[in-house]
Each structure stands twice: as structure tokens, then as C-alpha cells.
Amino acid sequence: MTYEYKMTLLTRFRQGWERGGGNMPLMNEGSVVRRLTPIECERLQGFPDNWTEGQADGHRYKQMGNAVAVPVVEWIMSRLVEVDRG
């Protein structure tokens, strides 16, 4: 791969990221790659189905990408309580 080709790929990647293209979760199913649905992203993060309903899918993907997974926070807090109680 030449330097110029690498720089072209990097530039295209950055342009896509700045437009929100980097927020597109993908899933490999055999030889086919498909986009995760907003509901699948909500489930992966531990939110109820349609938690972000009523917004454009791009905004929903971005919100789930910026969210903290609910089960992880619950686990951390339960451990903190256990340690505090001794």
C-alpha cells in the first residue's frame, strides 16, 4: 500500500467520521455485513426497546454510542456498595 493511498483512505475515513459516518455499527453475518438497528444498539447498551424512538436513526446511533452501558454501571455500583458495607 503506497503512502498516497493510505493518506487517501485516512482522509476519507476522517470525512466520514466528521459527518457521523463513524457511528454506524456493523455486524458480520457470514459473508454479509449489515447495520445494527437502533433497537439492537439500545439492547446492547441495556436500555429498553425504543428508548430513543422519535428521532432520526443517525441521532439514535450517536446517542447509543455515547451512552454508558446500564448493566456495567449497575455492576460497578453494586460492587461499591459491597465494599462500603465491608
Q: Return d(Cα 8, Cα 20) in angstroms, integer.
A: 19
What per-residue confidence (pLDDT) applies to 10? 61
Domain that holds residue 28: 3-85
Q: Taking the CB of residue 46, how many other CB atoms lie within 10 A of it? A: 15
Q: State the pLDDT at residue 1.
A: 62
List, for residues 38-80, the tens digit of each pLDDT value. 999 999 999 999 999 999 999 999 999 999 999 999 999 999 9
Is the separation of the CB atoms in 44 and 35 below 8 Å?
Answer: no
Q: Which of 79, 76, 71 is nearest to 45 (CA)?
A: 71
Report residue 86's pLDDT band, with 50, 70 and 90 as the boundaries. confident
Number of domains in the chain: 1
Q: pLDDT value at position 5?
A: 67
Would you say the pTM of this structure is higher than 0.85?
no
- Answer whether residue 9 shows pLDDT above 70: no
